[in-house]
Structure 1
């Protein structure tokens, strides 16, 4: 029996999430949408792992499978070496306080009929035996931690701005002192000026509370600001994993390079060569054979059309799923 402890706080192993396509009077399954298809990666304790990709690539579905908000079709999700997929609802309930989520919509995720003190205090009522006064004291403390005036705790969500509402959501997420937080497009609905404030808040809380964060976004500039490592997804597959600076300075996968080329540079004197991808994103219900990116890849060969590349380590700490990664000259000489 292997008793070796994993180096990751949370780890996905060969995770798949398929949604059935049903049709006809008998409601028969005629196919599947392969939202997440054989994805493996891990997040170390205290790390922020950024997950990026185009809309519909499966990144939010993967995040929800990791939290067991949706059940995996196949694969394992390990938290402290415990397989969450095999746990019963009662077993998961004991772990829930340690794993929380910050939702994308800062308004839709808050009950409009609840006062802010009830929204933030709800996890404390459900998972602790704190008294009403103790909960109120904790709510005051949490609101101060996220930069909100505690006197506003008797207001309703609609009385706050978008950025303030997201701070309420963050306060609710950290109320139980979790170890792991899923931030699912947590700043995408906010103005750019507010985004930086919320990102700085998350970084501050991570340092103070020792949080481990899975940060999902489609804006690469946002991910670079907060992430230690970055994973890039395309059509349900992980195509590249690397330290954040390495991804932005020298992407190895053609898809990552194309995403970066579309990212605006805040300097009018710097010109970046734009990589324009041709064709549409294929359907996850009928993905291409071989490499899923090959219909849009400027470097695709017959091998790419027939043989699916595996996610392999090509440099220490860098993984890429590509037959022809964009390696530099030194790596070519050493290979």
Structure 2
């Protein structure tokens, strides 16, 4: 008696409403899937690593996955569509009675965009299984070639450019606390003080979103990026037990005010390198690498202590023309080196901290 073959079990399917969207010569199915379904059917096909049609993705960044998992647990907003390329030819998507019938089988759909979001959700579900029911918008293409996947990937990642960093940092001031970068918020607070306080050497010169276009001045994103490592948890300030915002603001203002004394009325002239990104970034780097330690040794972060540590001749001021044409890192380093050449620390110390 011959063996009785077991019936082949059909894969589980889900039904979901959809909209078909046509763009040029291609079309996709716009729908919603739960995070649990996405984690089952979707996978990343890595360019240069996976030998299959449609491989356009990069290697996963584990730090980014961890960050997205934390975000999913804290907030769980994912309004942008995950973009898939359905490649499972044995179990196809079926349109029936106005719905999509989608087979729930592993490795059925390549991720064109959103691989870190899917991996982050997959990681978050390990500790918070309820996230498996989170609904996520999904755009599904079917059986695209590598070239077609590349076109879509490049369209998303080059033509659809992210918003300016200055706008991101400015919005941190009003967004929910779960969404913000705490160090960026603190750096933004210092940037506001630099721009608005009457005793600041940068009053009215930091460009926030919506500011009139002008030559010179420093973008908010430059200021925040330069200051973040100073104010970050376990950053340069906290390593010296300088935690409160007011003291941090005062120290930054004291440092640049000390430099401004050598320029006098020329400080706000367009020729002054410190009125530009390279000057502010190079100056902040010098503050972090040399001036903070110098002041800590003397228990004094006053403007006078910082000013007395420099010897900058009036005929050798640091000018913007010195770094014109240099790249960002190169120009920042050039400013820092020039400040180092003028740094003439004395050996006197005082008993208690002064600010």
TM-score, normalised to structure 2, is: 0.26
More strand, by proportion: 1
Higher helix share: 2
Compare CA radii of gyration and give the structure with the larger one. Answer: 2
